[in-house]
Amino acid sequence: MNIVTKISDWQALRKTLANKTIGFVPTMGYLHAGHMSLCARSRQENDLTVASIFVNPTQFNQAEDFQSYPRNNEADIALLTAHQVDYLFLPEADMMYPDGYEVRVTEDQVSQLLEGAHRPGHFTGMLTVVLKLLNLLQPTQAYFGEKDYQQLLLIRKMVSALFLPVKINACETMRAADGLALSSRNARLTPAQRLQAAHFPRLLQSELNAAQITAELISLGFKVDYIMDQWQRRLGAVSLGDIRLIDNVVRV
Ligand code: AMP
């Protein structure tokens, strides 16, 4: 795998790939089987696959959450190499924001709901960095997980609104055996919290209504940001200690 850390190096390399189809998998690292399912699909559907790892500071609304976000570039590089990803784009934060984040992409409908209501500025940071990455990497197609369903809707909306020449593909949520959606943040759960966390997907998939699920989660010791039915799905965000988990399922 070719690891590219400088924007100018990527831009020079990109010119040599003009006649190839390129699949792109943007990530924040600490990779798991969910990320790898996106890479596997990209490999099937494109000549070349590029992954990026960038823990984007502008999409964290709390400094501590950014600091404590798990990171392990060495393990990630080994995993991407084992999965035959062709290129890893691994930029540093100051390279991605030469403007000091004075230029931003905002959306003012979908981004105000659910996650947006609980994480002010999160979606503006996310959309801004995804636009930068799409402009730099110039992929034919890009792959996003349904796990971050509101993010996926916003990226599709941005690509359509700004006429970006890229196809956006949605990939289903990969789960652990007990149903918990794979997430980099799961690594921070204590063994007891990890066991408890499985109640969250179980209740989301149950026949209970949103209010009943909320009450049940609270009685089990979760802090609940929201459980909401929207876009033919049931979406939720909860915390165990300071670890925030999000998930969604097709509405039953
Ligand atoms: P992240 O590194 O958490 O920003 O995620 C990078 C990409 O992987 C996003 O498109 C996520 O939606 C996707 N992703 C994260 N977790 C999963 C999962 N459990 N199953 C499928 N895709 C996922």
Task: Find the helix packing angle between 149-161 and 122-137, rounded to 10°.
Answer: 60
What is the average pLDDT value for the chain, to the nearest integer?
Answer: 98
Is the pLDDT assigned to residue 240 strictly greater than 90?
yes
Mutate to test the pocket of ligand 1, among 38, 50, 73, 153 (most ligand atoms within 8 A of CB): 38
**Cα of 35 to ligand 1 centre, how many Å?**
5
What's the token pair of residue 30?
A: 């600490």
Query: What is the distance between the alpha carbons of residues 139 and 153, in angstroms, rounded to a whole number?
Result: 19
Sign, CA torsion 164/106/117/122: positive
Query: What is the distance between the alpha carbons of residues 104 and 10, in angstroms, rounded to a whole number?
Result: 23
Confidence of residue 219 (pLDDT cuts 50, 70, 90): very high
Ligand 1, residue 175: give the atom nearest the CA: 19
Q: Which residue has the tokens 């890479």?
A: 39
Q: Which residue has the tokens 């999000």?
A: 246
Quick: pLDDT tens for 126-145. 999 999 999 999 999 999 99
What integer pLDDT is reported at residue 252 of this predicted model? 67
Q: Which domains does the chain have, with CATH numbers?
A: 2-171 (3.40.50.620), 184-245 (3.30.1300.10)
What's the token pair of residue 78?
A: 């080994």
Helix (H, G, I), strand (E, B) or coil at 55: coil
Quick: pLDDT tens for 83-131. 999 999 999 888 999 999 999 999 999 999 999 999 999 999 999 999 9
What integer pLDDT is reported at residue 93 of this predicted model? 83
Q: How many CA atoms lie within 13 A of 130 on its CB side?
A: 28
Is 35 labeled as catalytic in the residue annotation? yes
Is the pLDDT assigned to residue 195 strictly greater than 80?
yes
DSSP symbols for 2-30: EEE--HHHHHHHHHTTTTS-EEEEEE-SS
Query: What is the distance between the alpha carbons of residues 252 and 250, in angstroms, rounded to a whole number?
Result: 6
Confidence of residue 229 (pLDDT cuts 50, 70, 90): very high
- Site residues for ligand 1, CB cut-off 6 Å: 27-28, 34-35, 37-38, 144-145, 147-148, 171, 173-174, 181-184
